A and B are shown apart, each in its own frame.
Chain A
Amino acid sequence: MFKMFIKSSILTGIHYIKQCTISKSAFIHTSIILRKAEDRKEMLASLPAKDEGTIGEKSVDIDTLFNRRAKSFPDANTATQLFNGIPFNELPICNIRVSPNNTIISVTDYKGVPRLIRSCGIEGFKNTRKGTNIAAQATAVSISAKAVELGWKTIRVKVRGLGPGRMSAIKGLQMGGLNIISVTDNTPVSWNPPRPRKQRSL
């Protein structure tokens, strides 16, 4: 009986070793670096796509603009159109500058003279937390409170760049009590730019 037990245990042990060698053989690499790169690729593939705040960029839904009565785009008469008693081209401007790592919001008068400026860094978010949508929203809420104090309740918004704060900063301005008339994209895009910096090594 005892003999049998030993025999069987040895057998199972051999079987286990066999299994190990078979299953492990798939992960044999000549260098550690190669395996590391693969692991990183797998990890990046499993991660959710990074939010850039560009909701609706990829959507291909049927254009609802044609059925709409209200006009969505400016024309030649827009500049003199009154909003809350102020012509469109004399409304204060809110510039939002978004980057992957930070969001800077400044409020200027209609000539472009800056009056208020806040960024996620000034707001108290440091390091990687600066580049989040929550930081952008908090910054927008605080700057809009200051703008309301100045008596600027109706504004136009100009957004520049792509990043997590793009949508949430605009939402935050509205939550802070500002009345947003229009949203403009001011992202600098060139088809023949000077040579950019070299690619990041991942």
Chain B
Amino acid sequence: MRHAQFLARTVFVHNNNVEEACRILNRILGKEEIFDQFRRTRFYEKPYQVRRRINFEKCKAIYNEDMNRKIQFVLRKNRVDPFPGCN
């Protein structure tokens, strides 16, 4: 991935709090699965391993979707402000 230097994947440090800046950077890169891809491409992933991984990810995504739907169903609220005092 080529991007403009010091524009992409850059976080400013405030009040000399380097750790906080790194944490933000790492969290974003982890969420975008950039680190995962980096780790995966260190060694060749055999086709059977790719299939297994992709199938596992599919199953996980389906499970997560269903589970989220269930949680939302259980947590549903029938009032104007669903969670008063939480804004």
CB within 8 Å of B: which residues of A?
Answer: 54-59, 65, 70-74, 78-79, 88-89, 156, 162, 167, 170-171, 174, 179-191, 193, 195-200
B41 near A54 (CB under 8 angstroms)? Answer: no
Interface residues of B in 1-54 (CB under 8 A from A): 1, 5-7, 9-14, 16, 18-19, 21-27, 29-30, 34-35, 37-39, 41-46
B1 near A200 (CB under 8 angstroms)? Answer: no
Closest residue on chain B to residue A166 by CB atoms:
B22
Minimum CB–CB distance from A78 to chain B (whole Å) comes to 7
Q: Which of A156, A162, A190 contacts B1 (CB 8 A)?
A: A190
Minimum CB–CB distance from A164 to chain B (whole Å) comes to 14
Question: Please, which residues of chain B bring their CB within 8 A of the CB of A78?
Answer: 6-7
CA distance A65 to B45 in the complex (A): 36
A185 near B43 (CB under 8 angstroms)? Answer: no
Question: Please, which residues of chain B bring their CB within 8 A of the CB of A196?
Answer: 41-44
CA distance A23 to B34 in the complex (A): 48
A162 near B27 (CB under 8 angstroms)? Answer: no
Given pairs A70-B12, A89-B6, 19 additional interface contacts (CB within 8 A): A56-B30, A58-B30, A156-B6, A167-B22, A170-B18, A174-B16, A179-B16, A183-B10, A183-B13, A184-B6, A185-B10, A185-B25, A185-B29, A187-B29, A190-B1, A196-B43, A198-B44, A199-B43, A200-B43
- Chain B interface size band reads 20 to 34
Question: Please, which residues of chain B bring their CB within 8 A of the CB of A55?
Answer: 19, 22-23, 26
Per-residue contact bits, chain B 59-80, to A (CB 8 Å; 1 contact, 0 not): 0000000000000000000000
CA distance A145 to B44 in the complex (A): 41
CA distance A79 to B5 in the complex (A): 11
CA distance A46 to B19 in the complex (A): 28
What is the predominant secondary structure among interface residues of chain A facing chain B?
loop
Q: Which of B10, B21, B46 contacts A74 (CB 8 A)?
A: B10
Knowing A73-B12, A197-B43, say if A187 contacts B38 (CB, 8 Å). yes
CA distance A78 to B6 in the complex (A): 9
Question: Please, which residues of chain B bring their CB within 8 A of the CB of A170?
Answer: 18, 22
Q: Which of B13, B37, B38, B44 contacts A181 (CB 8 A)?
A: B13
A185 near B13 (CB under 8 angstroms)? Answer: no
B27 near A56 (CB under 8 angstroms)? Answer: yes
Minimum CB–CB distance from B38 to chain A (whole Å) comes to 5
B18 near A54 (CB under 8 angstroms)? Answer: no
Question: Please, which residues of chain A bring their CB within 8 A of the CB of B19?
Answer: 55, 167, 171
B1 near A74 (CB under 8 angstroms)? Answer: no
Minimum CB–CB distance from A31 to chain B (whole Å) comes to 25
Question: Please, which residues of chain B bring their CB within 8 A of the CB of A89?
Answer: 6
Question: Please, which residues of chain A bring their CB within 8 A of the CB of B13?
Answer: 180-183
